Amino acid sequence: MILITLQTPAEAKLIRQRLIQEGLWVRLLQGERQTFFWVDPSSAKVDLDYLRSLPGVAEVIETPSPHPLIDKQPSQLDVEGIPVGFGAPPCFIAGPCSIESESQVQFLAEKVAKAGAAFLRGGAFKPRTSPYAFQGHGAKALKWLRDAADQYHLKVVTEVLDTIDVPQVAETADLIQIGARNMYNYALLKSAGRAEKAVLLKRGFSATIEEWLSAGEYCLMHGAKAVIFCERGIRGFDSNTRNLIDIGAVALLSHVKKLPVVVDPSHAVGRRDLIPALSRAALAAGAAGVMIETHQSPGEALSDGSQALPLNEVGPLFAELRHMGRGF
Ligand code: PEP
Ligand code: MN
């Protein structure tokens, strides 16, 4: 495909006329931060240098890839001052599955910061399989999360479930999480992109790598500053582990596509005893970091207690992983 990036939306009308005159069939794609023309591959052949010479054209990309913006993303990202990706130290994200109370998140923020995490995670809006399960404390939990993170100089990762909540989640989060269940929710991907923050994009349970990358393309096209991919396991057939962690996808994204991937071993296997081994595997395969659920009392957690790493194990695990670096 050919993608023409404009300097400003103001040039769109004139440029469209020129492109049509050249026999191109084009569609205007209006992102929040950038405006593009997508050129239909079945239209006339055209000299790319001519397109580049048109006044108002910033860039012309020709690629067989359906996700050129993701392909062009730098291999090291800056997430509110935290480097993530190639050449950066491993990025550690930790916190509870759900934010259960203000005191809980305060307590865990201190522990997680001491353990060496750069990001505090915690769900205020929870995507639960059962409508009877705890759904999260919503907006008030966002405030608890932000306050706790600020007190311990942590960055915030939290999930947005609904387009209507994007502005308030974006106000709180340094990294907006799109959950596995919503990887295919294109309205939400666009809306999260428009918040102009970095996005942590979880892989859908049954998503191919290409579908996952294209979901990232939606976020970038609509204004996201960056996309970090999060492998959290795909559906397998064996119930000993909750999901099947796809280490091959981690190696492919990291080594071949040079994209930052964070692995979430908690959701991948659903059991705390395997988290250290899978975290090592993740970094050895090239992951830029790990995201781990932890809890002050896993047996009493309102969600995902079985996959919460006990607090006293988080620091030693991160210390060990830090020495592994990126593995290449
Ligand atoms: C989570 O990280 O809290 C979560 C719900 O994860 P996933 O979308 O991977 O199930
Ligand atoms: Mn969870």
Q: Measured from the CB, is residue 232 less than 6 Å from ligand 1?
A: yes
**Ligand 1 lined by 111 (C-beta under 6 Å):** no
In short, whether 127's Cβ falls inside 6 Å of ligand 1 is: yes
Mean pLDDT of 141-162: 98
CA of 97 to the centre of ligand 1 (A): 8
Nearest residue to 284 via CA among 268, 270, 263, 310 = 263
Q: What is the pLDDT of residues 178-237, one digit of tens each?
A: 999 999 999 999 999 999 999 999 999 999 999 999 999 999 999 999 999 999 999 999
Residue found under tokens 């979880």: 202
Q: Which pLDDT belongs to residue 31?
A: 80
CB of 203 closer than 6 angstroms to any ligand 1 atom = no
pLDDT of res. 325 = 66
Cα dihedral: 191, 196, 202, 208 (round 10) = 70
Out of 178, 232, 243, 303, give the residue to mutate to test ligand 1, the one with the largest number of ligand atoms within 8 Å of its CB. Answer: 232
Q: Which residues surround ligand 2, an ion (CB under 5 A)?
A: 97, 304
Alpha helices in the chain (DSSP H): 12-21, 48-53, 68-72, 102-115, 139-151, 166-172, 186-194, 209-221, 247-251, 265-269, 275-284, 311-324
Q: If you average pLDDT over every residue of the chain, what do you get?
A: 96
- pTM for the model stands at 0.95
Query: What's the 267 CA to ligand 1 centre distance in angstroms?
Result: 7
What pLDDT is recorded for position 326?
A: 56
Residue range 27-55: mean pLDDT, rounded: 91
What residues have CB less than 8 Å from 158, skipping those under 6 apart? 121, 122, 123, 124, 125, 142, 145, 169, 172, 173, 176, 177
Query: How much is the pLDDT for 30?
Result: 86
d(CA 232, CA 203): 6
Q: What is the pLDDT of residue 328?
A: 45
Pick the residue whose CA is nearest to atom 10 on ligand 1: 180
- Asked if residue 327 has pLDDT above 50, the reply is no
- Of 28, 21, 20, 32, whose CA–CA distance to 4 is shortest? 28
Q: Which of 56, 140, 69 is nearest to 105 (CA)?
A: 140
Q: Which atom of ligand 1 is nearest to the CA of 123?
A: 3
Residue 85 identity: G
How many A from CA of 267 to the centre of ligand 2?
A: 6
Beta carbon of 136 within 6 Å of any ligand 1 atom = no
Write down the H helix ranges in 102-173.
Answer: 102-115, 139-151, 166-172
* H or E, element range at 199: strand 198-202
Which atom of ligand 1 lies nearest, measured to the CA of 304?
3
40-44, 85-89, 180-184: the lowest-pLDDT one:
40-44
For residues 227 and 221, is the Cβ–Cβ distance under 8 A?
Answer: no
pLDDT (tens digit, 9 = 90+) per residue, 275-292?
A: 999 999 999 999 999 999
For ligand 1, atom 6, name the residue with the nearest CA.
179
Contact of 148 with 120, CB cutoff 8 Å: yes
Which atom from ligand 1 is nearest to the alpha carbon of 181?
8
List Cα–Cα distances, 113 to 33, 90, 103, 127, 149, in angstroms: 34, 15, 16, 26, 9
Contact 200, 38 (CB under 8 A): no
Of the candidates 249, 293, 288, 289, which has an alpha carbon nearest to the alpha carbon of residue 269? 293
